[in-house]
Amino acid sequence: MLLLSTVSVQAILTQSTPRQVTNTTSGKNENASTNRNGKLFVFTSNTQHEGNAGPQNGNCQLPPEVTDTAPFQFDFDCSGNNFAVVGVDPPQPLCLNCDLDNGTAGNLFIWRQKRMRGGFPANSIEQITFTAAGGIKGNANPNISQNGQWIVWESDQEQAGTGVSCGNCSNADGNREIFLYAVRDGTMTQITTTTASGDSANRNPGIDDRGNQIIFDSTRDFAGPSCAQLDGSPCDNADGNSEVMLYVRQEGRFIQITDTSGNGADANIRPRISPEGKFAAFQSTRDQTSAGLGCAKPDGSPCSVSDNNGEIYLVDLTVGTFTQVTDSPNQGPCSGTNPNERVELSRKGKFLSFQSKCEASLNPTGCGDCGGNDEVFVYEHPQRRLRQATVSDSGFNRVPRIAGGGFWVVFESNRNYKNLNPGHSKVLYLIRRDRFAQVVEDALGPLQDIRTKLVSINLAGGFNSSTEGFGVSNSGRFVSFDNSKGVGNHEIWYLDRNR
Ligand SMILES: [Ca+2]
Ligand SMILES: [Ca+2]
Ligand SMILES: [Ca+2]
Ligand SMILES: [Ca+2]
């Protein structure tokens, strides 16, 4: 029995309800990403998907081999998941190409909430990958472009089998490569073709709104005629640490954004690209003082020689210059690879969100007790201003994602802001960036600013996500996430902030 979700919202905002997308009996559904209008969701799943034409069980179709009344395992409306597609009666969770033996690997699926061109009815599923091995991470970290036309992901598998249309897919060595799927015609492209370095070979792909550029981190060396650095010099990563790479789809060429040495697979990681594709951001433990065509801090002074803890960088791809957003000491909670991490950026690189343990150095006069727990920060590039969005004395504020339009930041937290989460469950918050974007739960911190607009997504007793991964549309209206609380195993959910 599904626990009814409870959602607390500020009075000024419309009541909204988390909606369950998948309804399965075992395994995991995770890594959900949504396009700009919430019509398309892509996610990974290692659960068994039933859905081809078969006998009817209520409103649900059963797969041909099922003769009993076993419930439809992958449905959206037949097992009490509270989902109903407006205007479709009865809603049929239809999948025309699902592999009925999925369950050994994480594969990618698209869910179409609304009727789409190409004959896809509302509330239908399409399976994209058909690998039989690799576990839940066999196909991982999918991102759909906001225009809904392109999906990029990482995989250590050979993309093959019935239903796969790929002209260049080849990954016999089983390292992790980057792949691209064209939603319009169902064709697949293998973007990277490399060997060795296993799961750290090519990772963390991001994609701009139109799917023109794909960014990722790679420990492989792309030296060759189809790759140049931002300053025009040849690509080079002979030392095999992780560098930030960009793939220009229409030209079939690569741009190596960082050129550093040392720290292996932790050197330069988790890059993101801005919605229009002109800016990139990433986290790095390496020295960027001679990066690209120049590197400066927000105040215009030269970048610091790295003391090798993780810092956030912003890159203007059109002119090749770097901005060192954070400059924090490699000590205490701020030491190591990930004290500043998980950067996301809005349109034209104007606003960055990231997670940080470095409050004592980034915001020494406003960080409350400054204990160094994970807090959310927002950097406003036009004003060259860094704001601490959460001030708390314990617990966590994680994985902030600024929506592409820059108005909303979504993050995961177990703090109680505006009394929306007094039980300190794990919830998602959406905070308006363009108001006074700060929330406080810290007796030593500044008083809460009443202008802050905040929404929480709070399933009964908090939710339990597997991956710290969720998606948000450019407008901040649609948020996709996974949760197992109250539903047994990890299922995909979404929130339409206007409903
Ligand atoms: Ca390979
Ligand atoms: Ca290197
Ligand atoms: Ca530092
Ligand atoms: Ca704190």
| pLDDT in the model for residue 53 | 43
Q: Tell me the ligand closest to 284's alpha carbon.
A: 3
Which of 13-27, 71-85, 207-221, 434-448 bottoms out in mean pLDDT, i.e. has the lowest? Answer: 71-85
**C-alpha of residue 359 to centroid of ligand 3, in Å:** 13
Q: Tell me the ligand closest to 236's alpha carbon.
A: 2
Phi, psi (5° rounding) for residue 449? -80, 125
CA atoms within 13 A on the CB side of 73: 23
Q: How far apart are CA 182 and CA 162, in angstroms?
A: 17
DSSP 8-class letter at 362? H
Strand partners, 190: 179
User: Which is it for the CA torsion 138, 143, 127, 30, positive or negative?
Assistant: positive
Which residues surround the ion ligand 1 when the cut-off is CB under 5 Å?
Answer: 171, 173, 175
What's the residue count for the chain? 499
> 16 pLDDT band (50/70/90 cuts)?
low
169-175 long-range Cβ contacts below 8 angstroms, 24+ apart: 175/199, 175/201, 175/202
Alpha helix positions (H), 166-308: none
CA angle 95, 53, 79 (to 5 degrees): 65
**C-alpha of residue 166 to centroid of ligand 1, in Å:** 15
As given in the structure block, the two tokens for residue 214 are: 């794909």
As given in the structure block, the two tokens for residue 139 are: 């196909």
71 φψ region: left (φ > 0), alpha (ψ -120 to 50), beta (else):
beta
Tokens 């998907």 belong to residue: 49
Quick check: 56 pLDDT over 50? no
Q: Tell me the ligand closest to 192's alpha carbon.
A: 1
**C-alpha of residue 444 to centroid of ligand 4, in Å:** 10
Per residue in 349-391, pLDDT tens? 999 999 999 999 999 999 999 999 999 999 999 999 999 999 9
Quick check: 2 pLDDT over 70? no
**C-alpha of residue 269 to centroid of ligand 3, in Å:** 16
The burial of 499, by beta-carbon neighbours within 10 Å (0-12 exposed, 13-18 middle, 19 or more buried), is given as exposed
Mean pLDDT, residues 151-176 taken together: 95
**C-alpha of residue 302 to centroid of ligand 3, in Å:** 14
Q: Tell me the ligand closest to 375's alpha carbon.
A: 4
Sheet holding 385-388, edge to edge: 340-345, 351-356, 375-380, 385-388
**C-alpha of residue 35 to centroid of ligand 1, in Å:** 29
| pLDDT in the model for residue 496 | 86
Q: Tell me the ligand closest to 359's alpha carbon.
A: 4
DSSP 201-225: SEEEEEE-TTS-EEEEEESS---ST
Gyration radius of the chain's alpha carbons = 22
**C-alpha of residue 261 to centroid of ligand 2, in Å:** 4
**C-alpha of residue 371 to centroid of ligand 4, in Å:** 5
Q: CB of 254 within 8 A of CB of 222? A: yes
Helix, strand, coil percent values for the chain (each to nearest 5): 5, 35, 60
**C-alpha of residue 451 to centroid of ligand 3, in Å:** 33
Q: Tell me the ligand closest to 179's alpha carbon.
A: 1
User: Which is it for the CA torsion 125, 455, 415, 346, positive or negative?
Assistant: positive
Taking alpha carbons only, the member of 471, 492, 470 closest to residue 483 is: 492
As given in the structure block, the two tokens for residue 147 are: 């225009």
Q: How far apart are CA 385 and CA 63, in angstroms?
A: 56
**C-alpha of residue 199 to centroid of ligand 3, in Å:** 27
> 437 pLDDT band (50/70/90 cuts)?
confident
The residue with greater pLDDT, 126 or 4, is 126
**C-alpha of residue 280 to centroid of ligand 2, in Å:** 18
183 φψ region: left (φ > 0), alpha (ψ -120 to 50), beta (else):
alpha
Q: Tell me the ligand closest to 158's alpha carbon.
A: 1
The residue with greater pLDDT, 410 or 47, is 410
**C-alpha of residue 221 to centroid of ligand 1, in Å:** 13
DSSP 15-58: ---EEE----SSSBEEEEEE-TTSSEEEEEE-S----SS--EET
Per residue in 222-270, pLDDT tens? 999 999 999 999 999 999 999 999 999 999 999 999 999 999 999 999 9
Taking alpha carbons only, the member of 43, 47, 21, 48 closest to residue 32 is: 43
The percentage of residues in the chain with a pLDDT greater than 70, rounded to a whole number, is 83
| pLDDT in the model for residue 460 | 65
| pLDDT in the model for residue 360 | 98
Q: How far apart are CA 303 and CA 357, in angstroms?
A: 20
DSSP 8-class letter at 389? -
Strand partners, 40: 112
Torsion (CA) 141, 144, 146, 150 in degrees, nearest 10: 140
As given in the structure block, the two tokens for residue 77 are: 């409306």
Q: Tell me the ligand closest to 169's alpha carbon.
A: 1
Q: Tell me the ligand closest to 306's alpha carbon.
A: 3
Q: How far apart are CA 19 and CA 492, in angstroms?
A: 9
Q: How far apart are CA 256 and CA 359, in angstroms?
A: 31
Taking all residues of the chain, what is their mean pLDDT, rounded to a whole number? 86
Could you tell me the maximum CA-CA distance found in the chain, to the nearest angstrom?
Answer: 71
Mean pLDDT, residues 470-486 taken together: 90
**C-alpha of residue 399 to centroid of ligand 4, in Å:** 15
